[in-house]
Amino acid sequence: MRSADHIAPAKLTSSDTTAPEFEDRDLLIVAAALAREFGKPSATIYWTDLLCTAILAYGAVTALLLLPIGLASVPAYCVAVLAFYRGLSFIHELTHLRPNTVRGFSAAWNVLFGISLLVPSFMYEGVHTVHHARTTYGTRNDPEYLPFSAMPRRASLRFLAVSALIPLGLLLRFAVLAPISIVIPRLRRIVITRYSALAINPSFRRREALPTSSRSWLLLEVCTAWWSIFVVALTALGAIAMPDFLTCVAVGVGVAVINQIRTLASHAWGNAADQPISLTAQYLDSVNVPPPAALPALWAPVGLRYHALHHLLPSVPYHSLGRAHAKLSSSRVGSARCSTPDYPGMPAVLEKILKTSRASQSGDAQATASAPTRLNADGQ
């Protein structure tokens, strides 16, 4: 087997590399070698990162609740939102970790973040893998894809605006619908298929829980439902002050908004044909925001800044994606870099999407949509 050190994908024109059916086999050979080299997760890194993030998140929200509302509380709010967002982002890793690879990690994450944020891991497990499948990526069956580049610009703006309602929607799902659905089978089916997935595609319907996962699903759902009912009840009884409750909701809104913005910036959303595309096209339709850009470490934490590379190497843990990206970049030379998923920052990604949306709306998409922005030698 050839090594990733000296293989470069074939010399290609921009139109070749962006063809939905094209498969860059040399790129896939490099990817396979990188997956073997960087595919082992470090339990030490996972646990240290998760626990430090939890300490920072709960410490910041405690400070936020103790401080008077005003300018002095803004730093604590920002830290709380970013820390809880980082903690939430580990749900992405849970879906790709093989069972017992990092023992106890899933349970700990659910206790520290999943239940408290009303996003238990079953909301993503069995859903995110559908997004990665070659037969469903970018199609109407993909839970995490909408063809924003072919939609009016207002669709992207609505997508961002609705994120502020996500915390209240989750509270309704677990505090109200979950208990009622226990005694109404028809509602239960609706809750499972329509309200049990972190999906942005409104037409996506997940299958009912498989027998092998129903016990863990039920346990997490009961715990999350009880937690949400407990918080609502204590607030209604005055044991939790309404300002404190609203402050926590505001943190949740902040987390949801950042995640929605990051989601919009995670793909070029170019598959408007509702047809399966090649892994190469899936890679080029996704987004990397590598160094020297610094802000992605905040808005795309836990490896999400290498989203395109993750689609190419889904088994590689987040802490190794930076090294894998550097090695892949060094192996790609000459005209093979004419098409790349690397962007210099979020503004470049959003500008690409909005420009393509306007072009699509005016019927002139082919003339104005450009290839993904590339990093130059200075990283700009």
Q: Do the domain assignments include residue 103?
A: no
Predicted local distance difference test score (pLDDT) of residue 337: 43
* Residue 274: domain span: 14-37+267-347
71, part of any domain = no
Question: Does residue 67 surpass a pLDDT of 60?
Answer: yes
- Eight-class DSSP state of 96: T
CB 138 within 8 A of CB 145: yes
* Contact between residue 299 and residue 346 where contact means Cβ atoms under 8 Å apart: yes
> Per the domain annotation, does 205 fall within a domain?
no
Could you report the per-residue pLDDT of 201-249, keeping only the tens digit for each?
Answer: 999 998 876 655 688 899 999 999 999 999 999 999 999 999 999 999 9
| pLDDT recorded at residue 142 | 94
The pLDDT, as a whole number, for residue 19 is 63
What pLDDT sits at residue 10? Answer: 32
Residue 252 within a domain: no
Alpha-carbon distance values, 18 to 55, 123, 134, 283, 340 (Å): 44, 32, 16, 10, 10
Of all residues in the chain, what percent are helix, strand and coil, respectively (each to 5)? Answer: 60, 0, 40
Query: With b meaning 16 or more CB within 10 Å and e meaning fewer, what string describes 167-179?
Result: beebbebbbebbe
Q: Answer whether residue 7 is part of any domain.
A: no
Residue 284 counted as domain residue:
yes
What is the model's pLDDT at position 5?
41
Three-state DSSP class for residue 99:
coil
The answer to whether residue 96 is domain-embedded is: no
Question: Phi and psi at residue 309, in whole multiples of 5°?
Answer: -65, -35
Amino acid in the structure at residue 265:
A
Residues 6 or more apart whose Cβ sits within 8 Å of residue 210? 126
User: Cβ contacts of residue 267 below 8 Å, gap of 6+?
Assistant: 145, 285, 286, 287, 307
Residues 112-153: pLDDT tens digits? 999 999 999 999 998 999 999 989 999 999 999 999 888 888
- The Cα-based distances of 128 to 76, 168, 264, 329 in angstroms read 32, 23, 16, 26
Per the structure, how many domains does the chain have?
1
DSSP 306: B
**pLDDT higher than threshold 50 for residue 367:** no
Is 370's pLDDT higher than 90?
Answer: no
Under 8 Å between Cβ of 235 and 242: yes
Q: Is residue 206 part of a domain?
A: no
The amino acid occupying position 150 is: A
Other beta carbons within 10 Å of 80:
27
- Per DSSP, the three-state class of 155 is helix
Q: Is the pLDDT of residue 377 over 50?
A: no
pLDDT digits 0-9 by tens, 152-189? 888 888 999 999 999 999 999 999 999 999 999 999 99
User: What are the pLDDT digits (tens) for 2-30?
Assistant: 344 433 333 333 345 456 777 888 888 98
Spatial CB neighbours of 350, under 8 Å, sequence gap ≥ 6: 264, 265
Mean pLDDT value across the chain: 86
Give bridge partners of residue 288 from the DSSP assignment.
306, 342
User: Which residue type is seen at 101?
Assistant: T
**Do residues 296 and 305 lie in contact, with contact meaning Cβ atoms separated by under 8 Å?**
yes
- 136 Cα distance to chain centroid: 17
Which segments of the chain are extended strands (E)?
Answer: none
CA triplet 76, 50, 299: central angle to 5 degrees? 55
φ and ψ of 286, to 5 deg: -105, 180
pTM here is 0.87
pLDDT number for residue 344: 92
- 344-364 pLDDT, tens per residue? 999 999 888 877 776 656 554
Rounded Cα gap, residues 336 and 280, in angstroms: 13
User: How many alpha carbons fall within 13 Å on the CB side of residue 345?
Assistant: 8
Which residues are within 8 A (CB) of 352 and not within 5 positions of it... i.e. 6 or more apart? 268, 343, 370, 372, 373
| 3 state SS of 88 | helix
Instruction: Find out whether 34 and 327 touch, Cβ atoms under 8 Å.
Output: yes
Tokens 């973040």 sit on residue = 113
**How far, in whole angstroms, is CA 307 from its chain's centroid?**
8
197, exposed or middle or buried, with CB in 10 Å at 0-12, 13-18, 19+? buried
pLDDT digits (tens, 9 = 90+) for 298-346: 999 999 999 999 999 999 999 999 999 999 988 764 334 446 799 999 9
β-sheet bridge partners, residue 306: 288
In terms of Cβ atoms closer than 10 Å to its own Cβ (0-12, 13-18, 19+), residue 185 is exposed
